[in-house]
Amino acid sequence: MIIWLTGQPASGKTTLANSIIMRLSKESPELKIINIDGDDLRLINKNKDYSKEGRIKNISTAISIARFLANKNYLCILSIVAPYRFLRDELKEDFKFLEVYLHTSEIRGREKFFADDYEIPIDEKTLKLDTGQLTVKECTNEIFDVYRQMATLA
C-alpha cells in the first residue's frame, strides 16, 4: 500500500509521516514501513533544482522507489510536494493508494519553495486536511481511519 502525503512545503508532510510511522510501529510491529521524503531524495540525488524539470526528476525517483518497495510488501509513505497530478496518479492504478492533501494558510517560513503550478488533488477519494486547524494527532487519526478501511478491503 502507498500513502502519499502531498501539499506545499511546510504543510506538515514530514511531521505527519513520522507520526504515522511511530503509531504503526507500535500497533503493527511486523509491518515493513518506509518513508520516502522529498527533502531526503534531494540530498541523495544532489538535486536542488526546484524548476518543473527538477521536481519531475525528484518525484519520478520517488515513484520508482515506491513501486519497487510496495512490490516487496512495504507500506510506503511518500512525503513529497509533488505538484503535478499526472505523477501522483501514476501509482493509483497499481496499488492500494491513499492520497492525503495537506494545506494551511499559516506562514511557516518555506514559502520561497512553493510550487506556483501546484495542482490541488481533485480525486473525490483524496483526504484533505487543514494542518493549520488540526493537530498532528487529529490529522494522524483521520489518516488512520481511512488507512484501516483500505487495509481491510480485499
Amino acid residing at 146? V
DSSP symbol at 8:
S
Q: What is the pLDDT of residues 33-77, one digit of tens each?
A: 999 998 888 778 776 777 888 889 889 999 999 999 999 999 999
**Residue 49 CA to chain centroid, in angstroms?**
20
**Beta 127-130 vs 97-103: how paired, if at all?**
parallel
Topology of the domain covering 2-152 = Rossmann fold (3.40.50)
Amino acid residing at 46? K
Name which residue leads in pLDDT, 144 or 105: 144
Q: What is the pLDDT of residues 77-133, one digit of tens each?
A: 999 989 999 999 988 888 999 999 999 887 877 777 788 899 999 999 999 999 999
Q: How many CB atoms are closer than 10 A to CB 63? A: 21
Q: What is the pLDDT of residues 2-27, one digit of tens each?
A: 999 999 988 999 999 999 999 999 99
